[in-house]
Amino acid sequence: MASSNVSSEKTDLLIYGPSKPLVTNGFSDQFVLHAFETKHDLERLSPAVAAKIRGAAVTFNTVRYDGTTLALFPKLEIVSTFGVGYDHIDAAYARDHNIMVTNTPDVLTEEVADVALGLLIATLREFVKADRYLRSGLWTTQIFPLSVGSLRDRKVGMVGMGRIGRAIGRRLDASRVPVVYHSRKPVAGISYQHYPDLIEMAKAVDTLMVIVPGGASTAKMVNADVMKALGPRGVIINLARGTVVDEQALIAALKSGTILAAGLDVFEKEPNVPDELKAMQNVVLLPHIGSASVVTRNAMDQLVVDNLKAWFAGRPPLTPVAETPAKAR
């Protein structure tokens, strides 16, 4: 559904993506909102309106803001996107064209870390299979088999040790599970062992917890070689982006017993999930719900609004991305 008004004096904002009451009701009448839910809707935007747009709220990562889309708006100053991951926005193009980009870090960190630990335990201890077993009535005739996996005898290799990685690390510490990590640079002030090489880390652990950004630098970094190094007790939990794990290699590794199991919240072509994964018993599949509680999604929506409000009040944005750091305004 698309809607738009034309105004010359007020600040014209594009709202791009699924409709969000907290976003559409978040602005005073100083702003004129032009809402477009899909790329198809956006094609109906008139050049006269596009020429007025100074700010954009992107309400979900299902709409992509590539250079071609950004180029539609000659007066665009800022894109405020929902989500901490912003691989759906061409931030390099934005930087080169003096467009600020903001995201929504921190407000979702603990929520996503909760889901990561939940997904790890659900995968190891086969919660979903057990639930199906009970509902089918089988419990009345036989005891549910012992799980092969357990958190008790595991060592977790974190792929990414940023905000969410550290929050997952704290949960694993509380569960008395040893943790090491891989990232490009070691993180100051933490005691976990750093592995500059992912394969070396995979050889040293039996569990990978993947929580890095998407995009070119991480594309398929968890590949067949990493899976082989992880070995037959191996478990991969991915809450990062589907692009980070080679999905076809993962399917092959799960089928052949190269690794034991996987827990996945993200997929290469969301919302489409390969039938082969859906047919497997040794995977737990979630529909990208890492941050998907009412309280956390509301905080993310509010931050989308607050970044735009700060900018148009002449203040620096609250949470600019690394490519477009805030300057004094």
> Does 243 participate in binding ligand NAP (rule CB under 6 A)?
no
Q: Return the range that interacts with ligand 8YV (CB under 6 A); candidates 83-91, 115-123, 215-223, 247-255.
A: 83-91
Specify the DSSP class assigned to residue 272. Answer: B
Report residue 238: phi and psi, to 5°: -120, 110
Coil, helix or strand at residue 24? helix
> Does 239 participate in binding ligand NAP (rule CB under 6 A)?
yes
Each residue 274-313 as x (binds ligand NAP by CB under 6 A) or -, in order, gives --------------x-xx----------------------
Does the annotation mark 77 as catalytic? no
| Rounded least distance, CB 36 to ligand NAP, Å | 24
> Does 291 participate in binding ligand 8YV (rule CB under 6 A)?
yes
C-alpha to C-alpha distance for 199 and 194, rounded to whole angstroms: 13
Q: How many helices (H) and strands (E) does the chain have?
A: 13, 13
Coil, helix or strand at residue 58? strand
Out of 60, 127, 133, 312, point to the residue binding ligand 8YV (CB under 6 A). 60
Out of 45, 107, 161, 202, point to the residue binding ligand NAP (CB under 6 A). 161
Cβ–Cβ < 8 Å for 263, 122: yes
Q: How far is CA 220 from CA 62, 63, 163, 249, in A?
A: 20, 22, 22, 9
Q: Of 3, 7, 6, nearest to 15 (Cα)?
A: 3
| Rounded least distance, CB 293 to ligand NAP, Å | 11
| Contact residues for 198 (Cβ-Cβ < 8 A; gap 6+) | 159, 182, 221, 222, 226
Out of 23, 33, 84, 236, point to the residue binding ligand 8YV (CB under 6 A). 84
Out of 40, 152, 176, 184, point to the residue binding ligand NAP (CB under 6 A). 184
- Neighbour tally for 195: CB within 10 Å: 21
Out of 62, 175, 183, 302, point to the residue binding ligand NAP (CB under 6 A). 183
Subset of residues 11 to 70 that bind ligand NAP, contact rule: CB under 6 A: none
- Helical (H) or strand (E) element with 135: helix 127-135
- Judged by the rule CB under 6 A, the positions of this chain that interact with ligand 8YV are 60-61, 82-85, 108, 290-291
For the annotated catalytic residues, the residue numbers are: 241, 270, 288
- Judged by the rule CB under 6 A, the positions of this chain that interact with ligand NAP are 84-85, 105, 108, 112, 160-165, 183-185, 211-214, 217-218, 239-241, 265-266, 288, 290-291
